[in-house]
Structure 1
Amino acid sequence: MKHTTNYTNTFIEVADDCPVSQAEVPSEKKIKTLAELQYKQIMKHPYRYTSDDIIFECYALKNDIPESERQQARIQFFSKGQPCLRCSPLSKRYGFGIHHNEEGKVAIFPVESKEYQKFLNDSTIKKTKAMRSKKI
């Protein structure tokens, strides 16, 4: 059975306990963080990749999986459930909303942007919150 993290026509709002009121770009570190990898991939190519594409590519980069082994590794990776972008540090910590279009392709929008507000006010788009960082 193949699991997926993809949504369609859905907007992931920042978490209720997100510590910022304006989006922050994840800082570059010696060892690339998940937030930095996701940010660069989505910002360079908005609406090009699905959630599955982004989550697996970041996993492959963090685990040094060679290009020649990625197809098989992806099948193995999605043979069990994986956390979706609701768990992404971009929405939990850095203040970015994540939009999944009709094709399931994603783009990110700063919480303070007009585009973010437009998604919140669009009744044709499903909304869900990013996961909280702390338990209540």
Structure 2
Amino acid sequence: MDLNYYDTLIAVAEDTQVIRAEVPLPRGGKPTVASVQYELLAGDPGALTQEDVLFESWLLRRQDDPEPPQDVRAELRDRFFSRSQACLRASPLPKKHGWGLLFDGTGRITLCPMESDEYQRIVAGEVAGVRVLKAMRTRRR
């Protein structure tokens, strides 16, 4: 089963409180989901898919071995995806921190700050072939 998006922008949530993208920080000395996902995506733009980000962010936040051997990693990944997972529309990056998530034709993600010209053009529908999905709202109506 393929959980990735293609040629898609996950735009910031309608109820975001920020007016420009901000780098998420760890809280209480511990990495948050947002800070881990940001580091993964900013550290290697266009290298990871949604499945990679979901799994790696889960793995990096584990208290036991965050760097298991390859055979154990493969088993953990299979087990992780055997349960349903929330997609990146629920990520705190587009919900709370002002980062659009831009997926290319192969499903690879780059961060797209909400104040950038590229983000504004895509959201306005000026870039052909890119579907726009809003991130999930932070609060219920």
Please report the TM-score for the alignment, with normalisation by the length of structure 1.
0.93
Choose the corresponding residue for 1:127, options 125, 132, 135: 132
Distance (Å, rounded) in 2 between the aligned partners of 1:67 and 1:9: 32
Unmatched tracts of structure 2, length 5 or more: none
Deviations 1:37-75 (A, max 9, x none): 000110011110001001100101112344222110100
Shift of 1:119: 2.1
Tell me if the contact between 2:7 and 2:107 (Cα under 8 Å) persists in the aligned partners: yes
Distance (Å, rounded) in 1 between the aligned partners of 2:117 and 2:68: 38
Question: What number of residue pairs does the alignment pair up?
Answer: 134
Distance (Å, rounded) in 2 between the aligned partners of 1:28 and 1:43: 15
Deviating more after overlay: 45-54 vs 56-65: 56-65
Tell me if the contact between 1:37 and 1:58 (Cα under 8 Å) persists in the aligned partners: yes
Choose the corresponding residue for 2:91, options 88, 94, 112: 88
Match of 2:80 in 1: 77
Structure-to-structure mapping, 1:1-136, within 5 angstroms:
2=1, 4-29=2-27, 30-63=29-62, 64-65=64-65, 66-68=67-69, 69-120=72-123, 121-136=126-141
Tell me if the contact between 2:9 and 2:130 (Cα under 8 Å) persists in the aligned partners: yes
Deviating more after overlay: 116-125 vs 54-63: 116-125
Query: Identity over the aligned pairs, expressed in percent?
Result: 37
Tell me if the contact between 1:5 and 1:85 (Cα under 8 Å) persists in the aligned partners: no
Give the SS at the match of 1:11.
Answer: strand
> What amino acid maps onto 2:103 in structure 1?
H
Tell me if the contact between 2:90 and 2:135 (Cα under 8 Å) persists in the aligned partners: yes
> What amino acid maps onto 2:127 in structure 1?
D
Shift of 1:80: 2.1
> What amino acid maps onto 1:129 in structure 2?
K
Distance (Å, rounded) in 2 between the aligned partners of 1:100 and 1:55: 14
